[in-house]
């Protein structure tokens, strides 16, 4: 199914975004990958939805086949450029982790483009972490970046797949290999010293009550308490929010439990249609 999607490059200031889509009529379903990953993480969702509706996959700047950032930008503004270039109109936007933060930012900064949200593994793009396991994982990740130790970076990155209560041995090896491959490709293509991080969107938690579209927050039960807690907080903070907690998975429920994840997506997509 992924091979049936057409590739388009959308120009953004000082770069481009790689976008894949089909040409089904109706409300678009836009899928935003997590940090360090790329559009390939959505293969199971493309298989589930591409026969019945328009599906759009976007590689964020600094990921996949999009350009590496060399000037100031915001992910949500890049995404708005994709909407305008492809004439997407209001869409159901699905985002995981970094992509979930971007989805919420889009609803705050460009609300006319969003008909519904599915957010997983995050609350907003302004996370707060207090759990010792998360703090240790991020500290290891940062140390690897500072020493430019690629293997150490990848090992730290992979900790989020099983989460704090499992090891990689507990994860389907095909899923682990897919995540590892995407993380490695991110390093190989975008880990340059001139990389510019995105400009943050601010006051997100203060403003999320203004989001009027349906919001479903999907959490892997085995994810860290911080990630699950921020997701639940988002659902509680919007007028039309609900939570879906999925057993047997941590930070990447779309990869480990795709059927349950797809059910949550369909719930929002049907209401946004």
Identify the pLDDT of residue 1: 72
How far, in Å, CA of 96 to CA of 253, rounded? 9
Residue range(s) in the chain whose domain bears CATH number 3.40.50.1820: 2-129+194-272
Joined tokens for residue 42 = 């959505």
User: What pLDDT does 228 receive?
Assistant: 98
Note the pLDDT of residue 192: 65
User: What's the CA gap between 61 and 63, in Å, rounded?
Assistant: 5
pLDDT at 193: 59
The reported pTM is 0.97
pLDDT for position 66: 97
Q: Which contiguous run of DSSP H or E holds residue 57?
A: strand 55-58
User: 62 φ, ψ to 5°?
Assistant: 85, 10
Determine the distance from the C-alpha atom of residue 109 to the mean position of all C-alpha atoms in its chain, rounded to a whole number: 17
The verdict on domain 2-129+194-272 having CATH code 3.40.50.1820 is yes
Which residues have C-beta within 8 Å of that of residue 191, sequence separation ≥ 6?
Answer: 148, 150, 153
DSSP 201: P
With b meaning 16 or more CB within 10 Å and e meaning fewer, what string describes 17-26? bbbbbbeeee
Contact 32, 59 (CB under 8 A): no
Tell me what pLDDT residue 2 has.
Answer: 81
Please state, in angstroms and rounded to a whole number, the distance separating the CA atoms of residues 112 and 80.
10
Task: Give the pLDDT of residue 272.
Answer: 74
Q: Of 175, 147, 177, 181, which Cα lies nearest the Cα of 261? A: 175
d(CA 208, CA 205): 5
Contact 28, 54 (CB under 8 A): yes
Residue in the block written with tokens 């997701």 = 231
What are the residues whose beta carbons fall under 8 Å from the beta carbon of 6, sequence distance 6 or more?
Answer: 20, 21, 22, 23
Q: Mean pLDDT for each 10-residue chunk of the chain (273 residues)?
A: 90 96 93 97 97 96 94 96 95 98 98 98 97 96 89 96 98 98 93 80 98 98 98 98 98 98 95 75
Beta strands in 181-227 (DSSP E): 215-220
Question: What's residue 194's pLDDT?
Answer: 63
* pLDDT at residue 89, as a whole number: 84
Q: Are 217 and 243 in contact (CB under 8 A)?
A: yes
């Amino acid at each position: 199914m992924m091979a049936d999607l057409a590739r388009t490059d959308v120009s953004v200031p000082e770069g481009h975004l790689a976008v894949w889509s089909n040409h089904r009529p109706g409300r678009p379903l836009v899928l935003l990958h997590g940090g360090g990953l790329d559009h390939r993480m959505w293969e199971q969702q493309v298989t589930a939805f591409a026969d019945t509706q328009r599906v759009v996959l976007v590689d964020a700047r600094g990921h996949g086949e999009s350009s590496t950032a060399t000037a100031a930008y915001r992910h949500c503004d890049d995404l708005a450029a994709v909407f305008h270039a492809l004439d997407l109109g209001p869409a159901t936007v699905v985002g995981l982790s970094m992509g979930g933060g971007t989805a919420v930012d889009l609803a705050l900064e460009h609300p006319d483009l969003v008909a519904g949200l599915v957010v997983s593994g995050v609350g907003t793009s302004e996370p707060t972490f207090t759990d010792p396991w998360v703090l240790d994982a991020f500290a290891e990740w940062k140390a690897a970046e500072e020493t430019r130790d690629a293997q150490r970076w990848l090992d730290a990155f992979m900790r989020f797949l099983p989460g704090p209560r499992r090891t990689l041995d507990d994860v389907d090896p095909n899923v682990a290999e897919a995540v590892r491959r995407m993380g490695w490709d991110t390093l190989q293509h975008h880990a340059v010293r001139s990389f510019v991080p995105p400009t943050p969107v601010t006051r997100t938690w203060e403003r999320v009550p203004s989001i009027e579209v349906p919001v479903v927050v999907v959490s892997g039960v085995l994810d860290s308490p911080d990630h699950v807690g921020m997701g639940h907080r988002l659902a509680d903070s919007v007028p039309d929010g609900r939570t879906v907690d999925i057993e047997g998975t941590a930070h990447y429920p779309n990869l480990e439990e795709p059927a349950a994840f797809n059910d949550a997506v369909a719930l929002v997509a049907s209401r946004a249609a």
